[in-house]
Amino acid sequence: MLLAGVAQGCVYALGALGFVLIYKATETVNFAQGDLMMLGGFFALTASVTLGWPYWATILFAVAAMAVVGMLAERLILRPVLGQPAFTVVMITIGLGYVVRGVVTMVPGWGTETYQIATPFVDDVWTLGGVILPVQQLMVIGMTAALCALLYFFFRFSTLGVAMQATSQNQLAAYYMGIPVRRVNMMIWGLSAGVAAFAGILLAPVTFVHSNMGFIGLKAFPAAVVGGFGSVPGAIVGGLIIGVVEALAGFYLPEGFKDVAAYIVVLVVLLVWPSGIFGETGRKKV
Amino acid sequence: MRFIFKTDYAQDIRLAKHGGHLFWYGLLGAILLAAPWWASEYVMSQLHFICIYSIVGFGLMILTGFTGQVSLGHAAFLAVGAYTEALMQAAGVPFAVSISCAAIFSAAAGIIIGLPALRLKGIYLAIATLAFGVVVEEIITRWTKLTGGNEGKHLKPVEILGWKLDSDAEFYYLCLALTVLCCLACVNLLRSPTGRAFVAIRDSEISASCLGVNLAKYKTMAFAISAALTGVGGALYAHKLAFISPEQFTLFQSIELLTIVILGGIGFLHGAVLGAAFIIVLPQLISIAKGWLPEGMAPSGLQAVVFGLILILFIIFEPLGLYGRWLKVRTYFELFPFYRKGMFRRQKSYMKSERLR
């Protein structure tokens, strides 16, 4: 059960990672992250069911397609409000979420039904010293870990990653240092949408693919907040905390607590650490 | 172009700044008062909703538009108001008392969320309010003894001192009167030192606190006032629907309330009314547009698409909302040949990091 919580937490963590990436680079929050996740799931669905591609090709296709969608969204919707207060961006991404959700239900062949994506490792089970480990969940955990390591090294060592961090800390100074801020923003949106697609695919066997899948994104939110926006390890820890707390609440507490557990954790964490557990705070100098 | 030549201090605090105001607001008032005679039953019902949403819009406008605090959990205050009204009416409490209690309990809820909000900013505040909204919704669903859970609660028509307001027209006058009262209260609040403090906090918290504005006090107050107005709106909302259940107070309701403020024009009280009217009329326009869709496309998603698109387009092209558009049109005619394109242009700005505080 703890493992199930961890696996679920990993999915939240991936969702949270999408938030954190965008926050890190542009210091805005993408409320449409869950819907992008859902769109990624549908792309994967089309590739695997309609076109009959293998699982790995499906993942590549969905991630690439979503990266393009993310970049388009940045170019068309976010660029005109570049530099506006965070609230503006929150509302505009909420709008984006509505559009994505609406479009998905209107596309012929997608609609409002629930679908399933076949995965190569659904029912396998490993037994390790008497403990039964479903491979499905281990895969989710493994893939999350791999992706996190990749992103960590990307931000730490690649020029583009460092440029993205610089942009996030001070747009104006980043311009002065010769960083093409707009292009960097566009790339980070692509990257984040790609991560969202990945999360969507990993989530697909658990929740199936349907047009309201994006609401999982609302769970990824608490994950990002608990860990502190702007911190990649924070997102992972936050996701795990939320996943485990939810699993435990579902088991030990009366019905109903499972759904709100995440939000109660958020309220408590925000009361104690106003910018999340791993959030960095600096002092503003006037 | 009108120049107001001020010869008296009283002119500064007068509600109607010049004769034009008196005339146009008078005309609007007369048309609204005469509504039961010219409006069909359907239009009357829409007018009810516009009044109710306007009141909620005022509340949200004070918090978001004037104090600069984002709330994604306003449906929770709406719910507190609605359920207070439902329970009190069931207990036989007179309307005047129950609607005051709806306002007071909502304000108390507002203070509860306002206190932690003192430490939170920007996006963290948005998420804290979102979490609060979700938690309240869940409490309402689960506390079946008090709220009836998913079965909801029924309400009887309003009764004031033995006079039953069960016709559309009577309820309309009640809504209209409360809307006007709330509007006047907001106008007065905003020209008082409290209102100025709100605006100062919105523009810069640091400068406001340097000028002696007690941030904690005024932020909590903004939350309380905003929640109280929303509670009044919620009480009327409950009466209008005559049946309330938890699924009317979800996150989507909160977002819809926020769009009222944004589409109407953030930072203008007029905006709240315009936004409310727009939000009410929009679904009708959409249902007309459904007929034009090509074959094979499910019409169910259209509402979400149009809603989202309108939100995006407004934020990009008309950040001041409907009222901002009206201001531009008015300025164009006032200055007739001299209107310049860039007069209302948004200033270029660079993102200020929220990580520094």
Q: How confident is the model at residue A219 (pLDDT cuts 50, 70, 90)?
A: confident
Residue in A35, A177, A255, A263 to test binding to B, most B beta-carbons within 10 Å: A263
Contacts of B308 in chain A (CB under 8 A): 94-102
> Do the beta carbons of residue A226 and residue A276 sit within 8 Å?
yes
Q: Which of B120, B303, B311 sits opposite A95 (nearest CB)?
A: B311
pLDDT for position B52? 92
Spell out the domain ranges in chain B.
Answer: 35-249
pLDDT for position B348? 52
Give the amino acid at B149.
G
CB atoms B350 and A108 under 8 Å: no
Contacts of B260 in chain A (CB under 8 A): none
pLDDT for position B103? 92
Q: Which of A80, A100, A112 sits opposite B316 (nearest CB)?
A: A80
CA distance A138 to chain B (A): 30
CB atoms A170 and B130 under 8 Å: no
pLDDT for position A127? 63
How high is the mean pLDDT of chain A? 76
| pLDDT one-digit tens code per residue, B160-203 | 776 777 777 888 888 899 999 999 999 999 888 899 999 888 88
For residue B241, give every residue at least 6 positions away whose Cβ sits within 8 Å of its Cβ, in sequence order, or none: B155, B248
pLDDT for position B357? 39
| pLDDT one-digit tens code per residue, A36-61 | 888 888 888 888 777 777 777 888 88
Spell out the domain ranges in chain A.
Answer: 2-213
Give the phi and the psi of residue A253 in degrees, each rounded to 5.
-100, 160
The percent of residues above 90 in pLDDT, for chain A, comes to 0
Q: Which residue has the higher pLDDT, A232 or B81?
A: B81
CA distance A210 to chain B (A): 13
Q: In 3D, which of A199, A207, A201, A52 has the Cα closest to residue A114?
A: A207
Contacts of B349 in chain A (CB under 8 A): 83-84
**Secondary structure in 3-state letters for chain A:** CHHHHHHHHHHHHHHHHHHHHHHHHHCCCCCCHHHHHHHHHHHHHHHHHHCCCCHHHHHHHHHHHHHHHHHHHHHHHHHHHCCCCHHHHHHHHHHHHHHHHHHHHHCCCCCCCCECCCCCCCCCEEEECCEEEEHHHHHHHHHHHHHHHHHHHHHHHCHHHHHHHHHHHCHHHHHHCCCCHHHHHHHHHHHHHHHHHHHHHHHHHHHCECCCHHHHHHHHHHHHHHHCCCCHHHHHHHHHHHHHHHHHHHHHCCCCHHHHHHHHHHHHHHHHCCCCCCCCCECCCC
pLDDT for position A215? 72
Is residue A13 predicted with pLDDT exceeding 60? yes
CB atoms B297 and A77 under 8 Å: no
The rounded average pLDDT for each run of 10 residues, N- to C-terminus, in chain B (357 residues) is 76 75 86 83 87 92 87 89 88 85 92 80 79 85 76 76 75 89 91 90 84 88 93 90 83 87 86 90 79 62 81 84 83 78 62 46
pLDDT for position B223? 92
Is residue A282 predicted with pLDDT exceeding 70? no
Q: Which ipTM was obtained for this model?
A: 0.78
pLDDT for position B59? 92
CB atoms B312 and A92 under 8 Å: yes
* Mean pLDDT calculated for residue range A101-105: 82
Q: Rounded CA gap, B316 and B334, in Å?
A: 26
Contacts of B124 in chain A (CB under 8 A): 225, 229, 270, 274-276
Contacts of A42 in chain B (CB under 8 A): none
Token representation of residue A158: 């690649």
CA distance B308 to chain A (A): 4
pLDDT for position A118? 62
CB atoms A105 and B308 under 8 Å: no
pLDDT for position B299? 62
Contacts of A225 in chain B (CB under 8 A): 124, 127
Q: How far is CA B25 from CA B16, B29, B58, in A?
A: 9, 6, 18
CA distance B116 to chain A (A): 6
Contacts of B353 in chain A (CB under 8 A): 27, 168-170, 282
pLDDT for position A285? 45
Sign of CA dihedral A51, A57, A61, A63: positive
Which stretch of A73-82, A84-93, B157-166, B254-263 has the lowest confidence by average pLDDT?
B157-166
Residue in A106, A110, A179, A181 to test binding to B, most B beta-carbons within 10 Å: A106
Contacts of A168 in chain B (CB under 8 A): 353
